[in-house]
Amino acid sequence: MSPRLDLALNSGLALSQPLTVIGPTPTHDLSAMPRDVQVVQSFKPFHDHFEAQGFDVTPEARHACQDAVIFLPRAKSLARSLVQQACLRAEGLIVVDGAKTDGVDSLLKDIRKRVPVEGPISKAHGKIFWFTSDPAAFADWAAPKSQVVDGFKTAPGVFSADGVDPASALLLDALPAKPGARVADLGAGWGFLSANLLQKQGLRSLHLVEADHIALACAKTNVTDEKASFHWADAVTWRAPEGLDAVVMNPPFHTSRSADPALGQGFIQSAARNLAKHGELWMVANRHLPYETTLNDTFARVEEVTGDNRFKVFHASRPRR
- As a whole number of angstroms, the distance between CA 170 and CA 186 comes to 16
Q: Can you give the pLDDT at residue 261?
A: 77
- As a whole number of angstroms, the distance between CA 144 and CA 272 comes to 39
Domain boundaries defined on the chain: 3-141, 147-319
- Strands 118-123 and 93-99, bridge-based pairing: unpaired
- As a whole number of angstroms, the distance between CA 65 and CA 57 comes to 14
| DSSP per-residue codes, 139-154 | GGGSPPS-EEETTEEE
Nearest Cα residue to 55 out of 71, 66, 41: 41
- As a whole number of angstroms, the distance between CA 22 and CA 68 comes to 7
Q: Can you give the pLDDT at residue 258?
A: 54
- CATH superfamily, domain 147-319, is Vaccinia Virus protein VP39 (3.40.50.150)
Q: Can you give the pLDDT at residue 204?
A: 97
Q: Can you give the pLDDT at residue 2?
A: 80
Q: Can you give the pLDDT at residue 252?
A: 86
3-141 with 147-319: one CATH topology? yes
Name the residue type at position 13: L
What CATH number is given for 3-141 in this structure?
A: 3.40.50.150
Which parts of the chain sit beneath pLDDT 50?
256
- As a whole number of angstroms, the distance between CA 225 and CA 200 comes to 12
